[in-house]
Structure 1
Amino acid sequence: MSKGLKLIFSSIALFIAFSILLAFCLWYSFYDSAYVNSLLEKKASLIVIDSTTGYCVAAFLLFAPGLIFVPGNAYFKLKGRDDGKTANALNKLMVFACLLSLSSLFWGPWGVTHYWEVRAQKAGYQRCPSMTLLVNRLHYTAWAKDIYYCDDPDVVRILTRGSHQEIDEANQYIEKQARQ
């Protein structure tokens, strides 16, 4: 197999991998954001904020420029136009994207969590005290309209992992308790 063909195949493989990872990160961010948004809109009794969606910011900042870098780099190498000026520009772009992505591993989760916490507070939610709900989930925080339900043993039993299904079940239980 020639060197040019190897370069084309590896570029295509990287492009596909970056595209799939970028699509997954975008889907995960939008899916979780839409779910929390829907809970806030219908004024659910309990919401759970997942700060891991902030890591998708870092992935986006890495994979989006990678979609430009990989085919651009392959194109210039295949054409023999590896003059240094264009390659340096592409390399600087990718280094900047990597550094920005690395730094966003720290500020991304904080920014996303802060955004949802402010929205929850404005909607009248209170953060559940630590060691009440989701004690085994580092990146998840539970917020409730009535702080009493943070200590309710049945809610603790229902809400173990913080999945959307468990949140819906816990909200149904709280609504049922409120009607009684």
Structure 2
Amino acid sequence: MTKPMTIKKSLIGLVFFCILLIPPFESLFDKEILGRFGRLDFQLAANYPVIYINIEYSTFIAGGIIALSGAMFMLWQLICLNKGKPPRSSEHYSTKAFATAAIIGFLFIFPGRHIERSHMESLAEQKSYQACPPFTLLMNSVSIDAWVKDFSLCNDPEVDKIAMYGYPDEPAKIAELIAMRNKALTRPQ
């Protein structure tokens, strides 16, 4: 036998889901944190020799959808309980709407990540980038892929020292390294 929903439980659920909203909103809407995902359009516009394809933000979008729908559901439960109405059962439309929003959130995580990765990879291929093989660049990062214009950079030890973790400032540092190399090669002896 399940215990009935109470105002206290609804309030705790509302606070919990509101707390879960903090990371998605912070990561998606804070101007300083937005760059942590290494925006691909900026990398392509700068014509870096090495770019990173990072789709970690899709998890934050999914978390935001689930947390927002959960907060709205708990708020609805709280309002109904305050008015003296019985709590919403699994047959009620609000419960079905919450379950649907949770499913949509999970669709952002699984097929959505694949679709977004495919889209970003096609953008990189249009700009003549090619993917580095596994276990070359970015060995310490599971969710970020390195793409290069010159395939020899995938096995370059100096580039490998810079491209360790997939930080958004690494492609610019690699571009500086390549520019210094080219400058040293073209300098008259």
TM-score norm. by structure 1 comes to: 0.82
Contact 1:140/1:162 (8 A) holds in 2:
yes
Asked if 1:145 corresponds to 2:149, the answer is yes
How far apart, CA to CA, are the structure 2 residues paired with 1:65 and 1:47?
35
TM-score norm. by structure 2 comes to: 0.79
How far apart, CA to CA, are the structure 2 residues paired with 1:7 and 1:154?
56
How far apart, CA to CA, are the structure 2 residues paired with 1:65 and 1:59?
10
- Code of the residue aligned with 2:97 in structure 1: it is L
Instruction: Say how many residue pairs are matched.
Output: 177
How many Å apart are 1:42 and its aligned residue? 1.5
Asked if 1:174 corresponds to 2:178, the answer is yes
Partner of 2:112: 108
Contact 1:59/1:101 (8 A) holds in 2:
yes
- Code of the residue aligned with 2:49 in structure 1: it is S
Choose from 98, 119, 123 the match for 1:119. Answer: 123
- Code of the residue aligned with 2:15 in structure 1: it is A
Matched ranges for 1:53-64 at <5 A: 53-64=57-68
Partner of 1:47: 51
Asked if 1:163 corresponds to 2:167, the answer is yes
Contact 1:25/1:59 (8 A) holds in 2:
no
How far apart, CA to CA, are the structure 1 residues paired with 2:58 and 2:160?
26
How far apart, CA to CA, are the structure 2 residues paired with 1:61 and 1:12?
15
Query: Percent identity, aligned pairs only?
Result: 21
- Code of the residue aligned with 2:20 in structure 1: it is F
How many Å apart are 1:133 and its aligned residue? 0.6
How many Å apart are 1:148 and its aligned residue? 1.6
Choose from 96, 99, 122 the match for 1:95. Answer: 99
Choose from 9, 13, 16 the match for 2:15. Answer: 13
Matched ranges for 1:124-135 at <5 A: 124-135=128-139
- Code of the residue aligned with 1:138 in structure 2: it is V
Larger displacement relative to structure 2 (125-134 or 29-38): 29-38
Unaligned runs of 5+ in 2: 1-5
How many Å apart are 1:85 and its aligned residue? 8.1
How many Å apart are 1:17 and its aligned residue? 0.8
How far apart, CA to CA, are the structure 1 residues paired with 2:21 and 2:55?
23
- Code of the residue aligned with 2:21 in structure 1: it is S
Unaligned runs of 5+ in 1: none
Root-mean-square deviation (CA), in Å?
2.7
How many Å apart are 1:109 and its aligned residue? 1.9
